[in-house]
């Protein structure tokens, strides 16, 4: 069995991400926050698309969960760049979907990373290995460039950086993401995500 095929448990209340995201989506729609609800629904659909669950839905194949994590990061990066380059200003009374989606994706993304970071089933993987060995060998076409750049960036990291150095690397990667071209965007986003997970390396 490869590390990417290990089943890891959902923590806390044991709900899958699609279930607790669904609760928040329902509440958002009830409050009339349609754009926020749409962003949550996007994550639910991505979870259902990429993840493989155990029969009782209490665990998930970590490699499939990493693909979900990558899809969320790629989507967040798209909205992050769009907002950073926009000449329009977001106001609470005139919300724009990219701004709402960016904030909602960012708020949830830490929880998705944490599932791998704190999985007791993965305690044998330390440092950078936790973030490379849990990536499946087969990656969907739409994530291929992102994942390739992500793995290349981490393969060049011989040791876990200090938290300060990790923040510096992540900030530089975000600047490169904003200044990059449409052609380099998936790779820029993958490198940024690699720098982001190093902030969570143990």
Cα(95)–Cα(98) distance, integer angstroms:
9
Of 167, 72, 161, which is closest to residue 111 (Cα–Cα)?
72
Distance of CA 150 to the CA centre of its chain: 12
100-117 b/e with 16+ CB inside 10 Å = b? bbbbbbeebbeebbebbb
Cα(200)–Cα(115) distance, integer angstroms:
11
DSSP letter at 168?
H
End-to-end Cα spacing for the chain: 23
The better pLDDT of the pair 124, 13 is held by 124
Do residues 80 and 102 make contact, with C-beta atoms less than 8 angstroms apart? Answer: yes
Query: What per-residue confidence (pLDDT) applies to 93?
Result: 67
Round the average pLDDT of the chain to a whole number and report it: 94
Tokens found for residue 138 = 């087969």
Query: What per-residue confidence (pLDDT) applies to 176?
Result: 98
pLDDT reading at 88 higher than 90: no
- pLDDT for 26-61, tens place per residue? 999 999 999 999 999 999 999 999 999 999 999 999
Q: Cβ neighbours of residue 157 under 8 Å, at least 6 residues apart?
A: 128, 194, 198
Collapsing DSSP to helix, strand or coil, 97 comes out as helix
pLDDT band, residue 95 (cuts 50/70/90): confident
- pLDDT for 98-155, tens place per residue? 999 999 999 999 999 999 999 999 999 989 999 999 999 999 999 999 999 999 999 9
pLDDT band, residue 159 (cuts 50/70/90): confident
Q: Over 9-30, what HEC string results?
A: ECCCCCCCHHHHHHHHHHHHHH
Across 49-63, 83-97, 179-193, least confident range = 83-97
């Amino acid at each position: 069995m490869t590390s990417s095929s290990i089943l890891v448990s959902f923590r806390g209340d044991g709900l899958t991400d699609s279930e607790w995201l669904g609760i928040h989506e329902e509440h958002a729609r009830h409050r009339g926050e349609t754009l926020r609800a749409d962003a949550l629904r996007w994550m639910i659909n991505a979870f259902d698309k990429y993840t493989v669950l155990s029969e009782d839905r209490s665990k998930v194949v970590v490699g499939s969960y990493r693909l979900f994590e990558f899809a969320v990061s790629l989507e967040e990066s798209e909205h992050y760049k769009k907002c950073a380059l926009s000449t329009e200003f977001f106001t609470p009374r005139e919300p724009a979907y990219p701004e709402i989606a960016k904030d909602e994706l960012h708020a949830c993304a830490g929880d998705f990373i944490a599932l791998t970071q704190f999985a007791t089933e993965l305690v044998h993987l330390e440092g950078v290995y936790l973030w490379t060995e849990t990536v499946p060998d087969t990656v969907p076409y739409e994530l291929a460039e992102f994942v390739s750049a992500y793995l290349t960036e981490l393969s060049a990291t011989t040791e876990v950086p200090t938290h300060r150095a990790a923040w510096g690397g992540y900030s530089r990667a975000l600047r490169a993401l904003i200044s990059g071209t449409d052609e380099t965007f998936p790779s820029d986003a993958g490198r940024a995500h690699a720098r982001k997970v190093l902030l969570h390396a143990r």
